[in-house]
Amino acid sequence: MSQLTATQPTLTQQNLVDKLQAKWESAIESVTVFRGELTINVELEKLYEILENLRKEHKMAMLLDISSVDHLHDIPRFEVVYELATLNDRQHIRVKTSVAQDQSVPTVVTIWKTANWHEREIFDMMGIKFSDHPEMTRILMWEGYEHYPLRKDFPLAGIESEIPDANFSADKAPLEGGPFVTNPGAKSRVDAEPCAKGES
Protein backbone atom coordinates (compact mmCIF):
# COMPACT_ATOMS: atom_id res chain seq x y z
CA MET A 1 0.00 0.00 0.00
CA SER A 2 1.24 3.50 -0.83
CA GLN A 3 2.07 5.63 2.18
CA LEU A 4 1.58 9.36 2.63
CA THR A 5 4.89 11.14 3.05
CA ALA A 6 6.46 14.57 3.66
CA THR A 7 3.73 16.15 5.82
CA GLN A 8 0.49 14.99 7.39
CA PRO A 9 -2.63 15.13 5.22
CA THR A 10 -5.81 16.81 6.29
CA LEU A 11 -8.75 14.59 7.15
CA THR A 12 -10.33 15.44 3.81
CA GLN A 13 -7.16 14.48 1.93
CA GLN A 14 -6.80 11.25 3.91
CA ASN A 15 -10.41 10.35 3.21
CA LEU A 16 -9.89 10.88 -0.53
CA VAL A 17 -6.70 8.81 -0.55
CA ASP A 18 -8.35 5.99 1.40
CA LYS A 19 -11.20 5.78 -1.12
CA LEU A 20 -8.84 5.80 -4.11
CA GLN A 21 -6.58 3.16 -2.57
CA ALA A 22 -9.57 0.96 -1.76
CA LYS A 23 -10.33 0.76 -5.51
CA TRP A 24 -6.87 1.07 -7.09
CA GLU A 25 -4.32 0.11 -4.43
CA SER A 26 -1.94 -1.57 -6.88
CA ALA A 27 -2.24 1.25 -9.44
CA ILE A 28 -1.38 4.05 -7.02
CA GLU A 29 2.40 4.13 -6.94
CA SER A 30 2.90 6.88 -4.36
CA VAL A 31 1.03 9.51 -2.38
CA THR A 32 2.65 12.69 -1.10
CA VAL A 33 1.50 15.73 0.81
CA PHE A 34 3.94 18.63 0.62
CA ARG A 35 3.11 22.13 1.85
CA GLY A 36 -0.50 21.09 2.05
CA GLU A 37 -0.67 19.90 -1.57
CA LEU A 38 -1.80 16.34 -2.28
CA THR A 39 -0.06 14.50 -5.14
CA ILE A 40 -0.67 10.94 -6.28
CA ASN A 41 1.36 9.03 -8.84
CA VAL A 42 -0.67 6.46 -10.75
CA GLU A 43 -0.03 3.79 -13.37
CA LEU A 44 -0.76 4.92 -16.92
CA GLU A 45 -3.05 1.93 -17.51
CA LYS A 46 -5.45 3.09 -14.78
CA LEU A 47 -5.07 6.84 -15.28
CA TYR A 48 -8.35 7.38 -17.13
CA GLU A 49 -10.38 5.37 -14.62
CA ILE A 50 -8.93 7.27 -11.68
CA LEU A 51 -9.40 10.69 -13.28
CA GLU A 52 -12.97 9.83 -14.25
CA ASN A 53 -13.65 8.72 -10.67
CA LEU A 54 -12.21 11.97 -9.30
CA ARG A 55 -14.60 13.93 -11.50
CA LYS A 56 -17.74 11.87 -10.88
CA GLU A 57 -17.36 10.63 -7.32
CA HIS A 58 -15.19 13.34 -5.76
CA LYS A 59 -16.54 16.40 -7.59
CA MET A 60 -13.22 17.46 -9.13
CA ALA A 61 -15.10 19.49 -11.73
CA MET A 62 -12.23 21.82 -12.63
CA LEU A 63 -9.26 20.72 -14.68
CA LEU A 64 -6.92 23.60 -13.89
CA ASP A 65 -4.01 22.46 -16.01
CA ILE A 66 -2.24 19.57 -17.70
CA SER A 67 1.52 19.82 -18.01
CA SER A 68 4.39 17.53 -18.88
CA VAL A 69 7.97 16.96 -17.76
CA ASP A 70 10.88 15.57 -19.74
CA HIS A 71 13.12 13.43 -17.51
CA LEU A 72 15.76 13.03 -20.19
CA HIS A 73 17.81 9.80 -19.83
CA ASP A 74 15.25 8.30 -17.41
CA ILE A 75 13.02 5.37 -18.29
CA PRO A 76 10.17 6.10 -18.70
CA ARG A 77 11.20 9.49 -20.05
CA PHE A 78 8.09 11.63 -19.59
CA GLU A 79 5.61 12.55 -16.90
CA VAL A 80 2.14 14.04 -17.43
CA VAL A 81 0.65 16.08 -14.59
CA TYR A 82 -3.03 16.93 -13.98
CA GLU A 83 -4.12 19.71 -11.59
CA LEU A 84 -7.70 19.23 -10.37
CA ALA A 85 -9.99 21.15 -8.03
CA THR A 86 -13.57 21.24 -6.83
CA LEU A 87 -15.81 24.08 -8.00
CA ASN A 88 -15.64 25.78 -4.61
CA ASP A 89 -11.82 25.55 -4.83
CA ARG A 90 -11.61 23.93 -1.38
CA GLN A 91 -10.12 20.65 -2.55
CA HIS A 92 -7.16 20.20 -4.86
CA ILE A 93 -5.31 17.14 -6.08
CA ARG A 94 -2.37 16.66 -8.41
CA VAL A 95 -2.27 13.43 -10.40
CA LYS A 96 0.94 12.31 -12.13
CA THR A 97 1.67 9.44 -14.46
CA SER A 98 4.86 8.24 -16.14
CA VAL A 99 4.89 7.84 -19.91
CA ALA A 100 7.48 6.09 -22.08
CA GLN A 101 8.55 7.69 -25.35
CA ASP A 102 6.60 5.14 -27.41
CA GLN A 103 3.42 5.30 -25.30
CA SER A 104 0.32 7.43 -25.68
CA VAL A 105 -1.89 8.82 -22.93
CA PRO A 106 -5.69 8.43 -23.00
CA THR A 107 -7.39 11.73 -23.71
CA VAL A 108 -9.56 13.15 -20.94
CA VAL A 109 -11.54 15.44 -23.25
CA THR A 110 -14.55 13.21 -22.54
CA ILE A 111 -14.18 14.06 -18.83
CA TRP A 112 -13.16 17.75 -19.07
CA LYS A 113 -13.62 19.56 -22.39
CA THR A 114 -10.90 22.02 -21.38
CA ALA A 115 -8.36 19.21 -21.79
CA ASN A 116 -8.51 19.66 -25.56
CA TRP A 117 -6.02 22.51 -25.94
CA HIS A 118 -3.86 21.38 -23.01
CA GLU A 119 -3.33 17.99 -24.64
CA ARG A 120 -2.65 19.52 -28.05
CA GLU A 121 -0.04 21.84 -26.54
CA ILE A 122 1.71 18.93 -24.82
CA PHE A 123 1.72 17.00 -28.09
CA ASP A 124 3.04 20.05 -29.93
CA MET A 125 5.77 20.99 -27.46
CA MET A 126 6.75 17.59 -26.01
CA GLY A 127 5.63 15.03 -28.60
CA ILE A 128 3.40 13.04 -26.23
CA LYS A 129 0.31 11.75 -28.05
CA PHE A 130 -3.16 11.45 -26.53
CA SER A 131 -5.15 8.51 -27.86
CA ASP A 132 -8.72 9.14 -29.07
CA HIS A 133 -8.23 12.91 -28.97
CA PRO A 134 -10.73 14.58 -31.35
CA GLU A 135 -8.03 16.66 -33.09
CA MET A 136 -4.49 15.54 -32.29
CA THR A 137 -2.76 18.28 -34.29
CA ARG A 138 -0.20 20.95 -33.45
CA ILE A 139 -1.51 24.11 -31.85
CA LEU A 140 1.53 26.44 -31.81
CA MET A 141 4.04 25.05 -34.30
CA TRP A 142 3.13 24.36 -37.91
CA GLU A 143 2.14 20.96 -39.25
CA GLY A 144 5.16 19.14 -40.65
CA TYR A 145 7.56 20.58 -38.05
CA GLU A 146 9.70 17.66 -36.91
CA HIS A 147 10.86 18.85 -33.50
CA TYR A 148 9.44 19.31 -29.99
CA PRO A 149 10.71 22.58 -28.45
CA LEU A 150 10.18 21.72 -24.77
CA ARG A 151 12.19 18.51 -24.82
CA LYS A 152 15.46 18.80 -22.95
CA ASP A 153 17.46 17.70 -25.98
CA PHE A 154 16.08 20.57 -28.08
CA PRO A 155 18.97 23.06 -28.49
CA LEU A 156 18.73 26.39 -26.66
CA ALA A 157 19.66 28.18 -29.86
CA GLY A 158 16.68 26.60 -31.61
CA ILE A 159 16.65 24.83 -34.94
CA GLU A 160 16.56 26.95 -38.08
CA SER A 161 13.55 26.51 -40.30
CA GLU A 162 13.50 26.53 -44.07
CA ILE A 163 10.28 28.54 -43.87
CA PRO A 164 11.38 32.24 -43.95
CA ASP A 165 8.42 33.53 -41.94
CA ALA A 166 9.17 31.06 -39.13
CA ASN A 167 12.70 32.34 -38.48
CA PHE A 168 13.35 34.67 -35.57
CA SER A 169 13.23 38.39 -36.24
CA ALA A 170 16.47 40.36 -36.13
CA ASP A 171 14.68 43.28 -34.47
CA LYS A 172 15.37 44.15 -30.84
CA ALA A 173 13.11 42.63 -28.22
CA PRO A 174 10.63 45.22 -26.87
CA LEU A 175 11.73 44.58 -23.26
CA GLU A 176 15.46 44.40 -23.97
CA GLY A 177 17.49 45.24 -20.88
CA GLY A 178 14.75 44.32 -18.41
CA PRO A 179 15.18 42.10 -15.30
CA PHE A 180 14.61 38.74 -16.98
CA VAL A 181 15.26 39.17 -20.68
CA THR A 182 17.95 38.33 -23.21
CA ASN A 183 21.47 39.69 -23.13
CA PRO A 184 21.47 42.38 -25.87
CA GLY A 185 25.21 42.07 -26.55
CA ALA A 186 25.30 38.27 -26.87
CA LYS A 187 26.99 36.74 -29.90
CA SER A 188 24.73 33.70 -30.03
CA ARG A 189 21.22 32.68 -28.97
CA VAL A 190 22.68 30.37 -26.33
CA ASP A 191 24.53 33.26 -24.68
CA ALA A 192 21.39 35.37 -24.96
CA GLU A 193 19.25 33.01 -22.86
CA PRO A 194 17.18 34.97 -20.31
CA CYS A 195 18.64 35.27 -16.83
CA ALA A 196 18.32 37.49 -13.79
CA LYS A 197 20.38 40.68 -13.75
CA GLY A 198 23.74 40.19 -12.08
CA GLU A 199 23.90 36.50 -13.00
CA SER A 200 25.17 36.87 -16.54
CB atoms within 10 A of CB 14: 15
54 and 60 Cβ atoms separated by less than 8 Å: yes
The domains of the chain are located at 4-154, 168-200
Architecture of domain 4-154: 2-Layer Sandwich (3.30)
Tell if the pTM clears 0.85, that is, is over it: no
**pLDDT tens digits, the chain, 200 residues: what are they?**
455 555 778 888 999 999 999 999 999 999 999 989 999 999 999 999 999 999 999 999 999 999 999 999 999 999 999 999 999 989 999 999 999 999 999 999 999 999 999 999 999 999 999 999 999 999 999 888 889 999 999 988 888 777 655 555 555 555 555 555 556 677 776 676 655 545 54
